[in-house]
Amino acid sequence: MEQQLFWLWGGIAVISAVMMILKRNPVHSALCLVVVFVSLALLYVLLGAEFLAAVQVIVYAGAIMVLFLFVIMLLNLETEVRSQGLSRVAFKACSLAGTGLLLLLLLGGGAVKALRAMAPEQVSGVPGNTQAVAELLFTKYLLPFEVTSILLLAAIVGALVLAGKRD
Amino acid sequence: MVGTTQYLVLGAVLFCIGVAGVFIRRNAIVVFMCIELMLSAVSLTFIALSRSQGSIDGQIFVFFIMTVAAAEAAVGLAIILSLYRRRQTINVDEFDLLKW
Amino acid sequence: MNEGYIPILFMLALATAFCVVVVILSRLVGKRQDSSEKLMAYECGNIPTGNARQRFPIKFYIIAMLFIVFDIEAMFLYPWAVIYKSLKLFGLIEMVLFVGILLIGFIYIWKKGALEWGSRNI
């Protein structure tokens, strides 16, 4: 059952990711990205990270993509003009990304082997519930959590200064 | 039970689709979306490895990735807006002032 | 797999099936008569004016951006609320610090006039 669900949601994620980079209308790209995010959230559920799955839907699919759609509508863009010799660029890009993928898989394979040697895999896993996450977040990772607020403050001020200036 | 390797491969594939998108697309907003996709792929890797290690620390990292992604979206899209106001385009090929 | 998800899946399937069945049924049973008024864009009953695809003001972006930032804040508040009792005073202090820093940003945008919907300097 879990195996099939993985293939289903992983397949949906990969297909919509490919659609996202192929669609020429940015609104369609954004909607494809929402599908990717939702299927990633479902994969998080499979991995036992339920709280993160909910947060993924709320923050990514709910808030960040709304901001993207807002900006697309603010600018009211026409569909992308295809630049000259795109197919050559696309071919180069795809071969580059493919090489990168191979490299990643090789390196990742080595890393996983090293990890397995260090600590044998405990597939039983940990309960990824909200409480366990919270206990770690508010004790061990307290400083990063507080620094996050400064990051958000910088984001507020920066976005307001950049977007609000009138010339 | 789905093995960790499968999740890692899926994460790598999604990441590389994002890389390809950054190279192919000319629309700055879509390029930005591809970067978000790459961040998400890394999040998936973090969660898969956190399960395989039996610790929850990886999930905390995903929290911070999401926060950074949100802050980045807010500031990055504001940059795109102000670029558009100045140049009337968001085609990334047009922004070549720093190229030589 | 956790059995707890079966009700959710059931509800999802039911909702999807309901939508599909209703749409198909209305196509099959009802008859279609298109007139120019029926095909007009729906603007809450008003006669549509202008092009729907016009650029809208930057104020909307500011509001959406604020929504994101405070959404993230809410995301941190959920797990905090779950273990608030075991953290006791310490938890209160750390969250007050967190919210306090964000409040500085809120005061900043308030003073800058970004929340005023009338025509101001934003």
Indicate the domain borders of chain A: 2-126, 127-167
Q: Which CATH class is domain B4-92?
A: mainly alpha
Percent of chain C clearing pLDDT 70 (strictly above):
87
Q: What is the pLDDT of residue A79?
A: 56
Q: How far apart are CA B93 and CA B54, in angstroms?
A: 46
Nearest CA in chain A to B9: A105
Give the pLDDT confidence of C17-73 residue by residue, as tens digits. 999 999 999 888 887 777 777 777 777 777 777 666 666 677 778 888 888 888 898
Contact B64 A144 (CB under 8 A): yes
d(C-alpha B38, C-alpha A97), whole Å: 12
Q: Selecting from 1.20.120.1200, 1.20.1260.10, 3.30.70.580, 3.30.70.100, what CATH number does the domain A2-126 have? A: 1.20.120.1200
Q: Does C120 touch chain A (CB under 8 A)?
A: no
If you search the block for the tokens 């759609």, which residue do you land on?
A69
Give whole-number Cα distances, A80 to B89, B90, B92, C37, in Å. Answer: 11, 10, 11, 32
Q: Give A9-40 pLDDT, tens digit per residue.
A: 999 999 999 999 888 888 899 999 999 999 99
- Residue C64: both structure tokens together: 């959406």
pTM for the predicted model, two decimal places = 0.84
C6 by Cβ neighbours in 10 Å (0-12 / 13-18 / 19+) ranks as exposed
Contact criterion met (CB < 8 Å) for B81 and C61: yes
Q: Is C85 at the interface with chain A, CB within 8 A?
A: no
Answer whether A33 sits within 8 Å of B36, measured CB to CB: yes
Give CA–CA dist C66/C29, Å, rounded.
47
Q: Which of B1, B75, B82 best tests the A interface by mutation, with the highest count of A CBs <10 A? A: B75
Q: What is the pLDDT of residues B25-82, one digit of tens each?
A: 888 899 999 999 999 999 999 999 888 888 888 889 999 999 999 999 999 999 988 8
Please report, for chain B, the start and end positions of each structural domain, with discontinuous segments joined by +.
4-92
- Tell me the shortest Cα–Cα distance from B41 to chain C, in angstroms: 20
Output DSSP code: residue C47. Answer: P
How would DSSP label each residue in A94-121? HHHHHHHHHHHHHHHHHHHHHHHHHS--
Tokens of A88: 């050559």
Contact assessment for residue B85 and residue C58, using Cβ atoms and an 8 Å cutoff? no
Beta bridge mates, C46: C43
Q: CB–CB of A156 and C108 under 8 A? A: yes
Count residue pairs from A and C with Cβ separation < 8 A: 123
Query: What φ, ψ does residue B27 adopt, rounded to 5°?
Result: -80, 120
pLDDT tens digits, one per residue of A29-68: 999 999 999 999 999 988 888 889 999 999 988 889 988 9
Does C72 contact B at CB distance below 8 Å?
A: yes
Q: Residue C43 in 3-state DSSP?
A: strand
Long-range contact set of residues A27-31: C-beta below 8 Å, sequence gap at least 24: A27/A69, A27/A72, A29/B30, A29/B33, A30/A65, A30/A68, A30/A69, A30/A72, A30/B33
ipTM of the prediction: 0.91
Size of chain B, expressed as the number of residues it contains:
100
Q: CA A38 to CA A78: how far, in whole Å? A: 27
pLDDT (average), residues B8-34: 89
